[in-house]
Amino acid sequence: MNKRKYKTNPKELLAMGRAIAKQGGHDAKFQHRVETVNLVLSGHSAAELSKNMGCHANTIIRWVKIDFALQEDPSKYGYNVWDGPSLSDFILRTYGIQYAVRSCQHLARQLGFSHVRP
């Protein structure tokens, strides 16, 4: 089985995040998250940002960690593939937050991952 390789270089992720932020057309909540993650990738701490961005430092850390988790092998977390149902279950088990499968599919697509049929 081929393992997919993803970009894990923070500079490359930051460039992708900036491109997403420039695109616009997203709802304000999503735009806020993208810009906050971009600031983390630029070297700002989550604690520092939480004071100015209106959200808790742990929330910021979660946004960053979900992206990095998707870049890892899903079997590390007990899944065969990263898809909507597995991401929804991962978020629920890891963070205690219920996300709809469709929302997880949208989230993965917005983070730069594509749906690949088996």
Q: Decide: residue 96, CB within 10 A, 0-12 exposed, 13-18 middle, 19+ buried.
A: exposed
Question: Rounded distance, CA 77 to CA 44, Å?
Answer: 28
| Residues across the chain | 118
Q: Are residues 84 and 109 in the same domain?
A: yes
pTM over 0.75: no
Q: Are residues 49 and 85 in the same domain?
A: no
Total number of domains in the chain: 2
Instruction: Read off the tokens for 18.
Output: 């900036």
Question: Rounded distance, CA 90 to CA 87, Å?
Answer: 5
Domain that holds residue 38: 8-63
79-95: per-residue pLDDT in tens? 998 888 998 898 888 87
Domain assignment of residue 1, yes or no = no
Domain assignment of residue 2, yes or no = no
Q: Are residues 57 and 92 in the same domain?
A: no
30-53: per-residue pLDDT in tens? 777 778 888 887 888 888 888 887
Domain assignment of residue 23, yes or no = yes
